[in-house]
Amino acid sequence: DGGITQSPKYLFRKEGQNVTLSCEQNLNHDAMYWYRQDPGQGLRLIYYSQIVNDFQKGDIAEGYSVSREKKESFPLTVTSAQKNPTAFYLCASSKDKGPLSYGYTFGSGTRLTVV
């Protein structure tokens, strides 16, 4: 079955560490997205990518970095510069590049906790 796989499901980070969240899709979708979810705030866009080797900042990109070397993969690195990284992170993909009519397919999320 086609879908999006996020790993790990739970991740713990020590202060000052960088961590990388994995997102892989086998839907042949062009566009991929990273969102952060905090209680009562809905989802906020971190980064998105519409084609390989290209990505754009979203609303809250500071302290995060991404790469898009393959169509199937869009990993997110949470750097030590992100001061409040504890959150639920969701990866999504869409077959649209431009105006979106199809909506997103979501992964099952990674819960990141700073310890």
Partner 1 sequence: AQSVTQLDSHVSVSEGTPVLLRCNYSSSYSPSLFWYVQHPNKGLQLLLKYTSAATLVKGINGFEAEFKKSETSFHLTKPSAHMSDAAEYFCVVRGFNDMRFGAGTRLTVKP
Which residue ranges make up the site for partner 1 (CB under 8 A)?
4, 6, 33, 35, 40-45, 48, 50, 56, 58, 88, 90, 92, 98-101, 103-104, 106-109, 111
C-alpha 63/C-alpha 79 separation (Å) is 5
Phi, psi of 83 (to 5 degrees): -80, -20
C-alpha 30/C-alpha 18 separation (Å) is 27
Whose Cβ is closer to partner 1: residue 16's or residue 99's? 99
**Rounded least distance, CB 78 to partner 1, Å:** 19
- CA 12 and chain centroid, separation: 17
Whose Cβ is closer to partner 1: residue 19's or residue 47's? 47
